[in-house]
Structure 1
């Protein structure tokens, strides 16, 4: 059994509670993921990691033996997406998103701002496989690059299938008009790390954080935060959404940057649906 698979079996349950945090973010800390969007300490015994200094991404694998995949993995995320090398795949259909207004709670896990779902009524379906939304979180600037360029921010919706597989729906964010729905979250935005979730009044509509066009880039990757577990299905939406400069600045005031550098694509292919 491979190291990443053993790690996945051992760490998965805790990660979901903590990656619902980062997907590169832990569950409680962010891409990420139940095997990790954000995004994340996975347990009380997990080594401290960060995005700067001696605990920054280039040192993650040195901090804890559980993080070895961060340096030895061959299918790591995020990546740069060179559009001229993307393979148009006629057999792929756009991701089917079924989100409904839901009760949510927000927290600052020390790595990102994570929003946890209070129901299991939200899902995506790709190629006949259904994944339930667990949490979503944010990165600044974007973790993925398109043609070697970062977007201002990136949003990771972290999903898990009944079999325990992870799928992250990524939305790139650029400066532009204000997103009114986001204001519901930002009105209770925790500026400091907190262990207790803050309930967001009313229901929150995740659909309003998505672009109208759901065509996407697809590839196999990993969590973008320790333990960098592989086997994650990535769906990076081609079309960005806009937030106001003030909304982006509000996040930047808390996390000036919380993005892992792009990783080597290697022999992997990037496909797009038609």
Structure 2
């Protein structure tokens, strides 16, 4: 499971040391070609535990609750080109299997990357965490179309619409718990980064209960990332999904 050495800022986003290698979601740079864009991206082609996946069957393992300790503020929202990312003050974390993973950032994909029972959602949030050794754990939250999401509305007001732009957040989204569902049951599996270099050894936890997002909110996000920014689902192979 060790992914020591992965640059945390690259988790499902753009790593500074990879900016010179163009990858994206359309044309020659689209996901089916990632593995051939650079030798450092070969895991996108040859990996056996790639993310995202379609969660169809799972084993009841009576998973313990995730211990959320989200207590710091969102500080900055950035348009990274391939996604919109929100940075947070240090001090927020989760505890999984007795290990503390610090929250580094969260970002969004449209439509959802992971599917649940074949269902795709219009928006998915990824909360990216790392332990002291650099191992990653990602919490995925789905958004189903419905009423406008008040917490996203606060972020979207400051969301930069052009790649490379950023906005300072001063108290916006004061309570990160508001971006988590009340029912915190989840699916768990071993996976990878969903963007190049597609490194494996990432602990994935996909929340079962979705939040809501309005069609207009999804459309605004789509404009910010110039369309869609989801990697297609990958083969599950021999992996077991537990719940």
TM-score (norm 1): 0.84
Counterpart in 1 of 2:184? 214
Matches within 5 A, 1:101-180: 101-117=72-88, 119-180=89-150
Question: Which of residues 13, 17, 23 in structure 2 aligns to 1:39?
Answer: 13
Q: Give the Cα–Cα distance (whole angstroms) in 2 for the partners of residues 103 and 88 of structure 1.
A: 35
- Structure 1: state its 5+ residue gaps: 20-32
Match of 1:186 in 2: 156
Indicate yes or no: 2:59 matched with 1:87: yes
1:264 to 212, 235, 241: 235
Partner SS, residue 177 of structure 2: helix
Whether the aligned pair in 2 keeps the contact of 1:141 and 1:259 (CA below 8 Å) is: yes
**Residue-by-residue CA offset, 1:57-99 (whole Å, 9 max, x unaligned):** 01001101000100011100000000xx200002x20211111
Offset from partner CA, 1:169-228 (integer Å, 9 cap, x none): 000111112222222211111111115x32112242211111101100000000000000
- Contact 1:41 1:47 (8 Å CA) reproduced: no
Deviation of 1:45 (Å): 6.0
CA pair 9-210 structure 1, distance change in 2 beyond 3 A: closer
**1:8-23 map, 5 Å:** 8-10=3-5, 12=6, 15-16=7-8, 18-19=9-10
Q: Secondary structure at the match of 2:216?
A: helix
Aligned pair partner of 1:48 in 22, 30, 45: 22
Change (3 A) 1:221 1:208: same
> Which position in structure 2 is the counterpart of 1:202?
171
Structure with more contact order per residue of length (Cα contacts < 8 Å, sep ≥ 6): 2
Matched pairs, number: 241
RMSD (Å) for aligned C-alpha atoms? 1.6
Give the TM-score of the pair, scaled to structure 2.
0.94
Matched residue, 1:74: 48
Q: Which residue of 1 aligns with 2:67?
A: 96
Contact 2:4 2:134 in 1 (8 A): no
Q: Runs of 5+ in structure 2 lacking a partner?
A: none
Higher mean C-alpha deviation, range 174-183 or range 232-241 = 174-183
The separation in 2 between residues aligned to 1:246 and 1:200, in whole angstroms, is: 22
Structure 2 contact 59–242 (Cα < 8 Å) conserved:
yes
| Runs of 4+ in structure 1 over 6 Å off | none
